[in-house]
Amino acid sequence: MRMRFIREFTVTAFFLLAAPYRIYSADHVLAKDGVPNICVVVPGKYSSVELNAAEEFRNCFESVSGALPELLRTPQPGLWPVTIGVISNPALKLPSGARAMAEQIRHDGFLLYGDGSGFYIVSKIPRGTIYGVYEFFQRFANARWIFPGKNGEFYDRKKDWTIGDFRLVSNPGFQYREFNLVSSYCAYDTMKWMLRNKMLVSVAKMKQGNNYDWAQWGQPLMIGGHIFSSLLDDALFPAHPEYFALVNGRRIPQKDAGRRWQAQPCSTNPQGLKAMGDALEKMIRANPAAERLLILNNDTGGWCECGECAKLGDSGNAANRFWNIANSLAARANEVKPELLADVHGYQNFQEPPSGVKPVSGAGVNICVHHRCYVHSLGDPRCEYNARYRDLLAAWRNLKLNSIGTYEYTNCLPGWGYLPLERILAQDIAWYHRAGHSKYTDEVLPLDGFSQGKTMPVTPYKGSILAHYIQAVFLWNPDADFDSVYEDAGSRLYGAAWPAMKEYRELLRRCYERSNLYLCYGSGNRMLWKVLEQPRAEELLRRCLAEAERLAAGNRFLEEHIAFEKQRFEDVFAKAKKDAAETKSVFAGSAAGKIVLDGNDSETDWGCSEYQHDFRTADGKNAAEETWVKFLFDDEKLYLYFEAYGVPSGEDSVKVVFAGNVLHVTPDGIPEGGIWKGRTLRGKNMWKGEFACPLQKTVAPRSFLSVGVSRKRSGKMSSWNTCGNEAMPANARRVIRGTQERLKNGDFESVAPSEKGSGRNAEHLVPCAWACSGKAELVKGDASSGEYYIRAAGSGVLYQAVGLSGQTYRAFPKYPRVRVSADVRGKGRVAASFRFSDRKTDTPPQSMEVDQPNWKRIEFDFDCRAYRFPILYLFISLSGSGVCIDNIDFEPMNP
């Protein structure tokens, strides 16, 4: 007997059911000299889906071998049969081993089984047979469909083709794996790409504008959506205004005169809910093949304010109102068609679970994660912004509904599809899978979309080819090895240019993930300048693109695609300009692990801190040689890392000062450092250092230290505060622990021309993030710290929004007690107060008389427990001739 060489693998299966498979020595001939040695068999009574699976097998086989195998009802002697079917088909004759393994199939998973009797591609439902066909060619012909269209298809060509015995059960990691193609119903290439990568082409209209019927490919019919106004016609308003919302004391229809949504129906009127249920029953009976019902509100945030709806007790959100309607619809759907999944969306101002209404049994939920951060994976504990969604999803999981999933918004991010999200999305999907999610939907503009009479733009998809491919792969197998999948896809997409493009994309990813940005649904492009705020990043990225362009020469597709990427880099990142209104505060991460002071920033925690490098000389010009600085906190130490460019010399030094602690370091060591510990490293054209200094007390998250940094090179001084003076407390910036400030620009160091804001002063500058009224003016020089402070020449008011009025998506913290503090001097009165939602929720102002020639710290304590809402505004009032204020801050206190 011939020796058989065995490789064993384990493939992740849904609900942790997996089956090992074995590949033996090549025993079975598929093709010889380009002639098929197989026949494709679809036995007994079959569906159109199984027939399409068989035709796909034949077409893919022809792409590999150059020949088309026969399609038969029964095997033909002399040919090795490839049989396709569902296991419930009595005409399907499976070997006993295959029949036993088929019991492990879940949802639209499949079995691939090959032995001497033939090869079998089987599933419990027809759709799974199509996915099994594509898996066959992925494994035995290295087939890949990296992006939609012919250019995105890759096969090995084989005139002589053999395989061995084979056994595999493969189940999806997520039962529902979808892209919402944004109302594009004619994107055939993109939909076919989704199918080949084992996604669902779940669209509300299965009969497409181009008459292509995806139901014939086993794809699920989905009905519903933003359906409240579809189920309750506004034509009923004149006769039954009580069915509709009461807003500001009057009933209004769901749509205004311009046919724009303005409100939901009344959430509690029983006759109105019955009318909606009746209309839903008609919808379900008109679509008997429907598998899912999506339940969303009218796409607006207005809700009924009548007495009965008010009894539902919503506080700051509309979850109870929404779920009162959703429960009524889901229960009615269950009566009409029990197997129909009612998929309810947590959206807008009802993302949180309802507090007073229990979701109906059997319903599923999809949470729309509008303001999650896409610079970090959702499971990354270092991201403060995503903590809200981790908690929210955990609360939904605790309700133990039929199913849970998320609705993502990568198409609504800045950069219009050109963000390096591949690794983040893979990490997201793996995290969701571990958490027990079974559904995942992302909004994606298709590569070949056509909607409302117009061709849709291709730029977003072209810039996200690898990201969307990664999503598809990991939705089927969340435990796939990212590096292997990424290498395989990138080398096919970029071909000869991959070495340079791999380096380019890896550097761009590191810059993006280390940018300390918060990017979410609706974030603007202007913040993307921070992505290139890494030492020499722009120079290195351009160098990689130039090398990729050289390697692509002669390949028209690659030349065009590299040119596209070069232009996207320019448009998205290189042209993004730093906004003068940005805070000059420095954001520093928290170290979760040990920081080894070896002169490098190799620890992952350093990626949570942002660089500052705008060092200027006394004349306000940029320093001739760049200096890059960042900080990191733990509960006991402040860490510093810097890179100082230019050939190292004995006339080069960096000085750092905070709270009386001085570090004065040269390329050769620490001539003045006291309690600072660390190390410097020299390079040919730069030197760098990593140091730590003990803290007298722990710096709490969102709190800060005032730190001054300067560099002296060849006798010329530069610093990071535009003064060009040696580092000292008066020339300091705020180093914030974390990624957020409770109060922006509290030290008034970020200024802009007055035509961009209110306020007046001799330089015609105003403090960014603050509104100034009355006789409050910005003054330069002799500040408590930094360069600027505010002086009153009479009565003036400063105020800043620290929350969002009427916000529906974001959660702002509520503080039981708050302390407002500031540095003051001069003569007059200083007062502080908060507003929580409107003028009726202003706190009584607290005030203090000032008669002090030197800067002095004052504090006001507020008890906020009586207010339901997060703080909306902070007001600071100044009165008197010459009272001055600087370094305003507020911080939560223990209740």
Q: Of 180-184, 444-448, 513-517, 718-722, give the range with the top mean pLDDT.
A: 444-448
What DSSP letter does each residue of 451-485 carry, written as one string?
Answer: ETTEEPPSHHHHHTHHHHHHHHHHHH-TTS-HHHH
Flag whether pLDDT at 271 surpasses 60: yes
Q: Which of 325, 368, 328 is nearest to 348 (CA)?
A: 368
Provide the strand spans (E) within 592-720: 627-633, 637-645, 652-658, 661-666, 669-672, 677-682, 686-694, 704-713, 716-719
| 64 vs 62: CA distance, rounded Å | 5
Amino acid at 711: R
**Comparing 617 with 160, which gets the higher pLDDT?**
160
pLDDT of residue 756: 45
Tokens linked to 384: 């403060």
Helix (H, G, I), strand (E, B) or coil at 833: strand
Q: What is the pLDDT of residues 612-628, one digit of tens each?
A: 998 988 888 889 999 99
Query: Which tokens sit at 471?
Result: 């999503």
Q: How far apart are CA 630 and CA 241, in angstroms?
A: 61
Residues 6+ apart with CB under 8 A from 418: 463, 464, 568, 569, 571, 572
Cβ contacts of residue 139 below 8 Å, gap of 6+? 112, 166
Mean pLDDT for 329-335 is 97
Is there a contact between 784 and 792 (Cβ–Cβ < 8 Å)?
A: no
Residue 251 pLDDT: 96
User: What's the full length of the chain, in residues?
Assistant: 895
Helices 537-551, 556-569: crossing angle, 10 deg rounding:
170
List CB contacts of 871: < 8 A, sequence separation 6 or more.
Answer: 802, 803, 812, 814, 815, 818, 834, 835, 836, 864
Contact call for residues 753 and 745 (beta carbons, < 8 A) = no
- Pick from 52-66, 114-128, 252-266, 498-512: least confident: 252-266
The stretch 88-95 carries a mean pLDDT of 96
Query: Which residues, 6+ apart, have CB-to-CB distance to 77 below 8 Å?
Result: none
C-alpha–C-alpha distance, residues 570 and 574, integer Å: 5
Beta strands per DSSP E along 369-470: 403-408, 439-443, 450-451, 454-455
Question: What CATH number is given for 751-893 in this structure?
Answer: 2.60.120.260
Query: What is the share, in percent, of the chain residues with pLDDT greater than 70?
Result: 92
Which pLDDT band, with edges at 50, 70 and 90, does 442 fall under?
very high
Residue 610 to residue 518: CA distance in whole angstroms: 12
AA letter at 466: L
What backbone phi and psi angles, to 5 degrees, belong to 267?
-80, -10
Q: Determine how many CB atoms are found less than 10 A away from the CB of residue 254.
A: 24
What percent of the chain is modeled with pLDDT above 90? 71
Compute CA distances 784 → 700, 706, 719, 728, whole Å.
22, 11, 18, 12
* Confidence check: pLDDT of 21 > 50: no
The residues, any chain, with a CB within 8 Å of residue 170's CB and separated by 6 or more, are 11, 13, 109, 110, 112, 132, 135, 476, 477
Q: What is the pLDDT of residue 797?
A: 92
pLDDT for the residue 196 = 98
Q: Is pLDDT of 316 > 70?
A: no
Q: Tally the C-alpha atoms within 13 A of residue 117's C-alpha that lie toward its C-beta.
A: 11
Query: In whole angstroms, what is the distance from residue 222 CA to residue 340 CA?
Result: 10
Number of H helices, E strands in the chain: 16, 42
pLDDT of residue 702: 85
pLDDT at 3 over 90: no
Q: For 586-737, CATH number?
A: 2.60.40.1190
* pLDDT range class, residue 870, cuts 50, 70, 90: confident
For residues 47 and 839, the model is more confident at 47
For position 665, what pLDDT does the model report? 94
CA distance linking residue 99 with residue 88, whole number of Å:
11
Please tell me the distance from the alpha carbon of residue 684 to that of residue 893, in angstroms, as a whole number: 50
Measured from the Cβ of residue 249, the count of other Cβ atoms closer than 10 Å reads 6
Give residue 55's pLDDT band: very low, low, confident or very high (50, 70, 90).
Answer: very high
Contact at 8 Å (CB) between 406 and 180? no
Q: What pLDDT does 20 receive? A: 38
pLDDT for 814 = 76
Q: Residue range 533-560: average pLDDT?
A: 97
- Which pLDDT score is estimated for 674? 80
Q: Which helix (H) or strand (E) holds 423?
A: helix 422-434
In Å, what is the CA distance from 69 to each residue of 156, 807, 869? 17, 61, 69
| Residue 729 confidence (pLDDT) | 56
Amino acid, single-letter form, for residue 275: A
Rg (CA), the chain: 32
Q: At what angle do helices 556-569 and 498-513 cross, to 10 degrees?
A: 20
- What is the three-state SS of 194-227? HHHCCCECCECCCECCCCCEHHHHCCCEEEEEEC
pLDDT 10s digits, 558-615: 999 999 999 999 999 999 877 666 778 899 999 999 999 999 999 999 988 999 998 9
Region 372-385 average pLDDT: 91
Q: What is the pLDDT of residue 212?
A: 66
The identity of residue 70, as a single letter, is E
The residue with tokens 């590999």 is 64
pLDDT band with cut points at 50, 70 and 90 for residue 810? low
- Fill in the amino acid letter for 642: F
pLDDT in tens, 745-765: 999 988 888 754 444 444 578
What is the token pair recorded at 582? 């940005």
Contact call for residues 585 and 734 (beta carbons, < 8 A): yes
Q: Is the dihedral of CA 776, 779, 782, 786 positive or negative?
A: positive
Cα separation of 474 and 788, whole Å? 52
- Write the CA distances from 211 to 178, 188, 215, 286, 648, integer angstroms: 21, 10, 11, 19, 70
SS3 label, residue 755:
helix
pLDDT of residue 560: 98
Q: Is the pLDDT of residue 186 over 60?
A: yes
Q: What's the sign of the alpha-carbon dihedral 727, 731, 733, 735? A: positive
Place domain 7-170 in its CATH homologous superfamily: Chitobiase/beta-hexosaminidase domain 2-like (3.30.379.10)
Classify residue 742 by burial, with Cβ atoms within 10 Å: 0-12, 13-18, 19+: buried
Encoded tokens for 354: 């309802």
Q: How far apart are CA 162 and CA 80, in angstroms?
A: 11
Q: For the segment 120-144, what is each residue's pLDDT rounded down to a tens digit?
A: 999 999 999 999 999 999 999 999 9
Say if residues 218 and 130 touch (Cβ distance below 8 Å): yes
- Return the DSSP state at 726: P
Average pLDDT over residues 13-39: 67
pLDDT in tens, 384-429: 889 989 999 999 999 999 999 999 999 999 999 999 999 999 999 9
Name the packing angle between helices 465-476 and 422-434 (round to 10°).
20
Q: Residues 464-473: what's their mean pLDDT?
A: 98
DSSP state of 595: P
From 767, 748, 769, 755, select the one nearest 874 (Cα to Cα): 769
Rounded to an integer, the average pLDDT of 356-379 is 94
Q: How far is CA 438 from the centre of its chain?
A: 19
Q: Which of 447-461, 546-560, 705-719, 781-795: highest mean pLDDT?
A: 546-560
- CA-nearest of 378, 382, 445 to 406 is 378
Instruction: Count other Cβ atoms within 10 Å, centred on residue 292.
Output: 19
Helix (H, G, I), strand (E, B) or coil at 441: strand
Backbone φ and ψ for 549, nearest 5 degrees, come out as -60, -40
Q: What would the mean pLDDT of 185-190 be, rounded to a whole number? A: 86
Residue with tokens 């033939």: 118
Amino acid type, 602: S
Report phi then psi at 475, rounded to 5.
-70, -30
- Three-state DSSP class for residue 496: helix
Report the run of H or E that residue 493 belongs to, with start and end. helix 482-494
- Rounded Cα distance between 62 and 360, Å, is 51
Distance (Å, rounded) from C-alpha 139 to C-alpha 123?
A: 18
pLDDT at res. 391: 94
Coil, helix or strand for 526? helix
Average pLDDT of the chain, as a whole number:
89
What's the rounded mean pLDDT across residues 35-50? 97
| Residue pointed to by tokens 């509309």 | 318
List of E strands, 731-816: 733-737, 751-753, 765-767, 771-780, 788-801
Per-residue pLDDT at 890 exceeds 70: yes
Domain extents in the chain: 7-170, 227-289+300-339, 502-574, 586-737, 751-893
Q: What is the C-alpha to C-alpha distance for residues 673 and 658, in angstroms, rounded to an integer?
A: 12
